[in-house]
Structure 1
Amino acid sequence: MGEFDLIDRYFRRPAAAAAGGVALGIGDDCALLAPTPGMQLAVSSDLLLEGRHFLSTVDPARLGHKALAVNLSDLAACGARPLAFTLALALPAADEDWLAPFARGLLALADAHGCALVGGDTTRGPLAICITVFGEVPPGQALLRSGARAGDDLWVSGTVGDARLALEVFRGTLRLPAEAFEAARLRLEQPQPRVALGQALRGIASAAIDISDGLLGDLGHVLRQSGVGARIEADRALGLLALRRLAADAVPAPIQLDCVLAGGDDYELAFTAPPARRDAVLAAGAAAQVALTRIGCIEAQPGVRVVDASGAALARAFASFDHFG
């Protein structure tokens, strides 16, 4: 099977499958996008490498899902509506048994969010997946990292830390009951981007970021760009770990907290909002059908302070993922 046969068989969609905002998809040197008049384009790229971002044993359908999910998560953190994406794919070989489920997982998530595949590239090489996603957001309504203010609440969507539990099982540093491991593995391999929540938080959240490299590490980007600090209540943060009960006997509490605060691969949203907007925040979560947890607050003093139930700071360091760290 040649390169263009591969594209035609697995990635070219009928014109009817293209979402609104796409004037021309796959087939020319460039795709043509037609954003809603007056809207701003939101653009993000992510590169996934075998052995660095995913294991060679991962289900290709889950990998296709995740490859797009990590990009849609960036749009969610900006409050943008997805329009389209491009796919650059390096493959060791044109393996149909791998390509068919990969494309199925990728395009199922794309269809669920009305995001059309409009182009890209394929080549032979070590397995690598690079996606660039395009979205739109009304001028002045994008969620940014620079808007957090002292006194704001700090919120997190969904559950956090479970993906890291699965990774540690794969690494051989932890053992989990079978039920807990399968649930954690699903969180690692098939995260759900919070696209609807991001749009619902426009005009409510003061700042936002998606959690990809670890809650504290990603929150640090918000704090630096906003010129503020944060206080996090450890007990509230531990409540983000969905598998806390199932893993309680197998995973000591300090490791559970490490997974929550520094785990990564969660693709949830961390965001800030004034206390006066708590009802609006909860309404946004309900509209998006996503649980929200308030884990702390923004403070004027720079840095992050993780505190116990008595308010005493924990004398521990939490290191989030860094590709070059």
Structure 2
Amino acid sequence: MKRLVLILTLALTCSVFSQTAKYSNEFLNIGVDAASFGMANAVTATTNDVNSGYWNPAGLVNLKDSQVSAMHANYFANIATYNYIAGAMPIDSKSAVGFSIIRFGVDDILNTTQLIDDQGNIDFNRISLFSTADYAFTLSYARNLPLEGFSYGVNAKVIRRVIGDFAQAWGFGFDAGIQFQRKSWFFGVMARDITTTYNTWTFDDAELATIQGAIDGQNQTTPEATEITLPKLQLGIAKTTSIHRDFDLTTSLNMDFRFAETNDIISSGSMSATPAFGFEVDYIKLVYLRGGVGNFQNLESLGGEGTNIGFQPNFGVGFRYKGIQIDYALTDIGDQSLALYSNVFSLKLDWSVFR
């Protein structure tokens, strides 16, 4: 246990102080699973199913059987689509493995770079379509520690980003997490991109050169070939209470840290943090009601006159029967004032359904 904590600490420290603050792969901060969205993503300590590969891979050890999960959501007035599919299975009584794929993209974008021909005439037949998409492929492994109640998990992820024929990138990174359960209390730690995730871009110079009116260094500049994603740390605590013979209540708190200056409600030159609160009420593990609030941000008022605090409210419901679980969440990608709300649905199946 001490060795694992030491490795996580050294990886975070080296990554933070050896790189400049940059941002990439923000699509991986959206999340997965409507049940988690309904609780404002405050599930670092309690996640215990196939979706743990994203939220905290240590939770995969709680699987009793193989599971598959899928989610679909539309953002920005249905302009962008977000899709997720995952599978996980226990290896033995002490370990488990999982795999997931995420795609966040905008399809059928009009490419008008060749709209005007060599004679200066507008030719709509010269318009083509292209897509821009981000992919994440994640392999997860989890195992119980010799200490009772402790488990750990690690992710190895490959990032693929594509912007039509103009540019493409590959990236690689690692996550690690720990969970501890003591009676009705749950604790979790999730370290994302612990070694700093790197994206390396390649550009099609011939395709970029076809953009009419573009002059390199004046109105067009080729982006940097390398992006980095700095580590993030998520701490979670939760408690489950029986409020009636047939009803249970789970309340959870997350504190999400970034090692960079952002608009988070708590921010300094080298670190920022924002809390998230969530709850879930279930009736005999059959019907679920969820709610939460998170993503607290300092937002500049219109006209630049002071700032106010923005936040992201969430609401969700779920239904589970004989290994089939369907969840719904009403949420958004930003906060209550800046983005349109989205209806998110997800499906989770125990493999026993197919037997």
Q: TM-score range by the shorter chain?
A: under 0.3
If the length of structure 2 is used for normalisation, what is the TM-score?
A: 0.23
Which is greater in Rg? 2
If the length of structure 1 is used for normalisation, what is the TM-score?
A: 0.25
Which structure's residues are more often helix, by fraction? 1
